[in-house]
Amino acid sequence: MALNKTFKCDDCDQCFLSKIPLDKHKLLHLKKSQLGCNYCGRTFLQKYKLRRHIVTHSTEKPFSCPICKKQFKRKHEVSKHDRIVHQGKKYNVYKSYKCSLCPKAFTHLAALEDHQFVHTGQKSHLCTMCPASYASKRNLESHIKVDHEGHKRPKESYQCELCGKSFISNRGYKVHMSHIHGDAKPKCQLCGKIVCSKEFLSIHMSMHLGEKPFCCEHCGKSFVSKSILTIHVRSHTGESPFVCSICPKSFKQRSALTGHYKSKHPNIKP
């Protein structure tokens, strides 16, 4: 007489005559080994699944879209977002900020702004330890490292009476007063209007006096400021220096580019 085949449980060595009761029996062990969520009571058989589930209860969003910087709780949500919002296109994420005056592109907006000072000649980054000034923050930091490395930073002894900001040199204090509290908001002596800079005050005064000293060489039309003339000249040359970093669109004015981002790429920060 042949012996009946038995099915043995690997967890407790209990035997069964068929596989069906063995499978039912194994469920008892599974229930005992289940891992429960402390937030909602849902159970899981693997720790990694429990950890993945707990993220849904957290406010943390550690995964971000490399194109528009929107944040997500799970990595796969970034991929889904890319397919829906960006249509899965492979943009040059690492250099999405393009200079409108030359072919250079940059990873961060701050780097682009520093670079543009090279074209304008403006040196807005001032050394607080000597009279030196630089077009970019990187050049200023390099100067401090080479020329002032190891030097003890002077005590900040010049304080702005209007905002409380302190400076270590009288020069830095005067520049701050001039740019932030002085020339930054000049006032028209004719009508009392306050404008944001000396340039705008000059434009505003020209309107009072009826002066239009900037003339277009293409059509002879005159304007109160060089910046307005520059924008007008683009209507003759077709130049559109403000380029969208996401699509091929370009614009004659920065404000038009900003409006384009808001309407066509609302999730992108220009």
Q: What is the mean pLDDT of residues 144-153?
A: 64
Domain check: are 104 and 136 in the same one?
yes
- Is residue 62 in some structural domain? yes
| DSSP characters over 182-224 | ITTS-B-TTT--B-SSHHHHHHHHHHHHT---EE-TTT--EES
- Is residue 262 in some structural domain? yes
Instruction: Please tell me the predicted confidence (pLDDT) of residue 48.
Output: 73
Q: What is the mean pLDDT of residues 230-256?
A: 85
pLDDT band at 197 (very low <50, low <70, confident <90, very high): low
Domain check: are 38 and 85 in the same one?
yes
- Among the ranges given (144-158, 197-211, 225-239), the one the predictor scored with the smallest mean pLDDT: 144-158
- Among the ranges given (40-54, 108-122, 143-157), the one the predictor scored with the smallest mean pLDDT: 143-157
Q: Count CB neighbours of 112 within 10 A.
A: 19
**What is the extent of the structural domain holding 46?**
32-91
Domain check: are 36 and 87 in the same one?
yes
Domain check: are 56 and 84 in the same one?
yes
Read off the pLDDT of residues 30-51 as tens digits, 9 standing for 90 and up. Answer: 655 566 777 777 777 667 777 7
CATH number at residue 48: 3.30.160.60
- Is residue 192 in some structural domain? no
Number of domains in the chain: 3
Q: Which carries the bigger pLDDT value, residue 116 or residue 32?
A: 116
The last residue of a domain, from among 91, 111, 138: 91
The last residue of a domain, from among 43, 76, 91: 91
- How many percent of the chain have pLDDT more than 70? 69
E strands, the chain, in order: 7-8, 15-16, 35-36, 43-44, 63-64, 71-72, 97-98, 105-106, 125-126, 133-134, 158-159, 166-167, 214-215, 222-223, 242-243, 250-251
- Is residue 117 in some structural domain? yes
- Is residue 125 in some structural domain? yes
- Is residue 56 in some structural domain? yes
- Is residue 51 in some structural domain? yes
pLDDT above 70 (res 134): yes
pLDDT above 50 (res 2): no
Domain check: are 72 and 113 in the same one?
no
- Is residue 140 in some structural domain? yes
The last residue of a domain, from among 148, 170, 186: 148
